[in-house]
């Protein structure tokens, strides 16, 4: 397996649901081709250096994943034929990857994500002190990690 990053641009005019469907489509391709999706980073609306298909602005999305060259070929084939994708580019980040290190990276990212979400769910206790849901966060992270580990083994 090798590590890749793919950046693609979709039109700004797409609804949130439509743009989420586009992202989910490429997530599913990575999963179907036995890749490991590490991160999806929505960079948001940006002005492009030049117009592409008569669009001056685009919504940028970065996908960080590990997989085979066949996965990249299939992903790029789908990006090419999708009318909702204005432009895309894939860059190889590493020739070899350590699967255990990637799993740890995913685990820590999920833990940070859940921890940030738990801060939003703070509640006031009887003494007026904020109480966070650390137990729920740790349980959710361990369940997600176990599920991901089982999928990688298959």
DSSP assignment, residue 9? E
Q: With bands split at pLDDT 50, 70 and 90, how would you rate the model's confidence at 113?
A: confident
Give percent above pLDDT 90 in the chain: 58
Q: With bands split at pLDDT 50, 70 and 90, how would you rate the model's confidence at 124?
A: very low
Instruction: Give CATH 3.30.70.60 domain extents, the chain.
Output: 2-94
The pLDDT of 85-112, averaged and rounded, is: 86
pLDDT over 60 (residue 134): no
Q: Which residue has the higher pLDDT, 38 or 124?
A: 38
The pLDDT of 19-25, averaged and rounded, is: 94
Is residue 145 classed exposed, middle or buried when 0-12, 13-18 and 19+ CB atoms within 10 A define those classes?
Answer: middle
What is the reported pTM? 0.69
Q: Which residue has the higher pLDDT, 143 or 51?
A: 51
**pLDDT score at 56:** 95
C-alpha distances (whole Å) from 135 to each of 104, 115, 123, 138 are 20, 10, 14, 5
Name the CATH superfamily, with its identifier, for domain 2-94.
Ribosomal protein S6/Translation elongation factor EF1B (3.30.70.60)
**pLDDT score at 100:** 82
pLDDT over 70 (residue 35): yes
**pLDDT score at 126:** 47
The mean pLDDT value of the chain amounts to 82
C-alpha distances (whole Å) from 44 to each of 9, 16, 19, 28, 33 are 10, 12, 11, 21, 27
């Amino acid at each position: 397996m090798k590590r890749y990053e793919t950046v693609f641009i979709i039109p700004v005019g797409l609804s949130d649901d439509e743009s989420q469907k586009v992202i989910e489509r490429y997530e599913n391709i990575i999963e179907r081709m036995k890749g490991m999706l590490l991160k999806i980073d929505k960079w948001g609306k940006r002005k492009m250096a030049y117009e592409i298909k008569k669009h001056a602005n685009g919504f940028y999305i970065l996908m960080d994943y590990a997989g085979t060259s066949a996965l990249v070929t299939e992903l790029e084939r789908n990006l090419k034929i999708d009318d909702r994708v204005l432009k895309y580019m894939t860059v190889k980040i590493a020739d070899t990857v350590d699967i255990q290190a990637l799993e740890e990276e995913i685990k820590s990212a999920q833990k940070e994500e859940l921890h940030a979400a738990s801060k939003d769910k703070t509640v006031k206790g009887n003494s007026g002190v904020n109480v966070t849901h650390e137990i729920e966060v740790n349980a959710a992270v361990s369940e997600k990690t176990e599920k991901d580990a089982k999928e990688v083994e298959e």
